[in-house]
Amino acid sequence: MARVFLIVMDSVGIGGAADAGDFFNAGAPDTGANTVAHIAQARSGLKMPALDALGLGAAVELASGTMAPGLGAAPQGLWGAASEVSKGKDTTSGHWELAGLPVPFDWHYFPDEEPAFPEEVTAAVMRAAGTEGILGNRHGSGTVIMEELGAEHVRTGWPICYTSADSVFQIAAHEEHFGLARLQALCEAVAPMLHEMRVGRVISRPFVGNAETGFRRTGNRHDYAMAPPGRTLCDWVKDAGGRVHAIGKIGDIFSMQGIDDVVRGTDAELMGHLAGALEKAEEGSLTFANFVEFDALYGHRRDVDGYAAALEWFDGEIGALLPTLRDGDVMLITADHGNDPTWAGTDHTRERVPVMVAGRGKGELGQVAFVDVAASVATYLGLEECGPGQSFLTPAKA
């Protein structure tokens, strides 16, 4: 038997997407975006010895033809670059496709204008919230709109509703003045209507603080995502008798479909949960983890230094965990999209992503598909179902 640890570094793209010109940030195409390489160039090098030894630097060059300063080690793991076919550069599309299910429809996106939402959506929110209006009703950065409208929200009690270039509907409210339970109930109430419109996620964005000291988000975010419209890797493992453990927002992304349990927290806390899974996860299990702070705290805010520090922190933590892998364990590290902090705008960037595998020797995988990740995990665990992808791993017993 074997165990697989599938880890998604949220937004850690490596450039080179063939269709990047079809995706835009602030009116400019994503052609040339490269999250890892551009951060490395801006910082005159990244210090990521663990992931570089697995093949990160080589994957950047394979994906985009670009050398990332500081990342030039000879790979000691399996490594490659993966491309997405779903017509989105968002969390849900990336994760579903990594799990073997390309998105079979076009997401709904709200226009970048005011008001951004149709009257029926606004009316539904007002009914569910019991308010006479909403605030926001536009595209915006969550941290910026919270600072701009937080005081008015506290005064009026109206929820702050906003969106982005992703297929999302976000509702921000003060945990104490509005109430966390009330906010989550509001999101849950309006989610079915928005999912029917093909809006991928309704996200509760609780915050605390005041106008004098400033407002800040809490760790009690919750995503109300559409359920996957088909079976994914999580279902394949579970139906074959294996356990599926979710770390981070994986449970939200898959609406708990095919998942046994979930733990949440900051990335530092999630790293502790990953260490616990390496110690306790059962044979035949899949541990599926998402580390979101690269994206949420640094990519969207175009914070190059913060993103670089997060990458180097992650590398140090993973480097400490790799020696704890058991014989037969596989750790597969990848990403779901890009979010180049040197790029125009504040949206995700369309990029290829790295694929790095520890526990199965070394070698170049080449250019692979997102769905090949799911097929490889399934093949390694000996599952009959493996979706539309092609495996780059052999069964554990081979």
387 lies in some domain: no
212: domain CATH number is: 3.30.70.1250
303: domain CATH number is: 3.40.720.10
Identify the CA nearest to 289 among candidates 250, 315, 346, 253: 250
Structure tokens at 219: 């760790």
Same domain, 236 and 350: yes
Same domain, 315 and 235: yes
Same domain, 238 and 349: yes
Provide the percentage of residues in the chain whose pLDDT is more than 70: 99
| 153 in a known ligand binding site | no
Q: Check whether 31 has a pLDDT greater than 80.
A: yes
Helix (H, G, I), strand (E, B) or coil at 389: coil
Element (H or E) spanning 92, and its range?
helix 91-98
State residue 165's pLDDT score. 80
51 lies in some domain: yes
Same domain, 207 and 344: no
312 to 256, 316, 343, 379: CA distances (angstroms): 31, 6, 20, 32
Average pLDDT value for residue range 243-269: 96
| 336 in a known ligand binding site | yes
Same domain, 43 and 98: yes
Q: Check whether 113 has a pLDDT greater than 60.
A: yes
126 lies in some domain: yes
Same domain, 233 and 321: yes
| 108 in a known ligand binding site | no
Which pLDDT tens digit goes with each residue over 88-106? Answer: 899 999 999 999 999 999 9
Provide the percentage of residues in the chain whose pLDDT is more than 90: 95
| 174 in a known ligand binding site | no
pTM: predicted TM-score of the whole model, two decimal places = 0.92
Identify the CA nearest to 355 among candidates 389, 324, 327: 389
Which pLDDT tens digit goes with each residue over 338-349? Answer: 999 999 998 999
Q: Check whether 397 has a pLDDT greater than 80.
A: no
Q: Check whether 398 has a pLDDT greater than 70.
A: no
| 273 in a known ligand binding site | no
| Domain ranges, residue 260 | 3-104+229-381
Number of domains in the chain: 2
Same domain, 97 and 236: yes
Same domain, 268 and 209: no
| 348 in a known ligand binding site | yes
Same domain, 282 and 165: no
Identify the CA nearest to 177 among candidates 158, 191, 162: 158
Same domain, 374 and 233: yes
State residue 219's pLDDT score. 84
82 to 59, 93, 254, 367: CA distances (angstroms): 9, 14, 21, 6
State residue 9's pLDDT score. 98
